[in-house]
């Protein structure tokens, strides 16, 4: 699971949950990998408008990979390639292979296995 995916997942599907974002990532350090993905500044710049940057920063920090990433979005983010490269790194190059995504409201844990989060609920949770 890349952080771009984490940034788009919520547990609002759970009955009664209104604040199901961001999900807390729990992952052992050895189950977090860095992979190389081609940097595309235009894509990263466009995605910036869709991201919850705080959630991205917190997720990267939780995984111990936030170094160099500014806590706040820089004013010229659309064209600042140095900044976009750092965003690209945390957004696309960090992968969680095993772990859990935890609902901030209920504590319900969704497993991540083989890099894939399982967001299915049981019948009584919907």
Partner 1 sequence: MNTLGQLEFPTPDFSHLIRADFDVIYEPAEDTFLLLDALESERQGLKKVSPLICLEVGSGSGVVSSFLATLLPHTCALFTTDINPVASSKTAATGNQNKVILNAVVGDLVYPFFHRLKENIDILIFNPPYVVTPPEEVGSNSIEASWAGGDNGRVVMDRLFPLVNDMLSDEGVFYLVVIKENNPEEIQTMMKSQGFDMQTLLTRRSGPELLSVLKFARSSDKL
- Is 117 among the residues that bind partner 1 (CB under 8 A)? yes
- Is 27 among the residues that bind partner 1 (CB under 8 A)? no
According to DSSP, residue 98 is labeled S
Q: Name the minimum Å distance from CB 120 to partner 1.
A: 6
Residue 32 pairs in a beta bridge with: 96
* C-alpha distances in Å from residue 41, one per residue of 45, 56, 66, 80: 6, 17, 19, 9
Residue 123 to residue 41: CA distance in whole angstroms: 42
Among 31, 61, 115, 125, indicate the residue that binds partner 1 (CB under 8 A): 115
The interface region with partner 1, picked from 1-9, 61-69, 70-78, 79-87 by CB under 8 A, is 1-9
- Is 4 among the residues that bind partner 1 (CB under 8 A)? yes
Tokens of 5: 């995916």
- Is 36 among the residues that bind partner 1 (CB under 8 A)? no
In degrees, rounded to 5, the angle at the alpha carbon of residue 114 between the alpha carbons of residues 83 and 46 is 25
List of residues contacting partner 1 (CB under 8 A): 1-2, 4-5, 7-10, 12-13, 20-21, 37-38, 40, 42-43, 46-47, 50, 52, 92, 113-121
């Amino acid at each position: 699971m890349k952080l771009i995916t984490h940034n788009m997942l919520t547990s609002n599907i759970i009955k009664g949950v209104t604040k199901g974002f961001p999900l807390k990532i729990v992952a052992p350090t050895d189950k977090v990998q860095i992979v190389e993905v081609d940097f595309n500044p235009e894509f990263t710049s466009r995605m910036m408008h869709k991201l919850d940057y705080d959630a991205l920063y917190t997720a990267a920090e939780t995984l111990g990979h936030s170094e160099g990433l500014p806590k706040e979005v820089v004013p010229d983010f659309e064209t600042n390639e140095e900044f976009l490269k750092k965003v690209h790194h945390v957004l696309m190059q960090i992968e969680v292979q095993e772990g859990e995504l935890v609902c901030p409201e209920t504590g319900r844990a969704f497993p991540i296995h083989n890099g894939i989060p399982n967001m299915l609920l049981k019948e009584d949770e919907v």
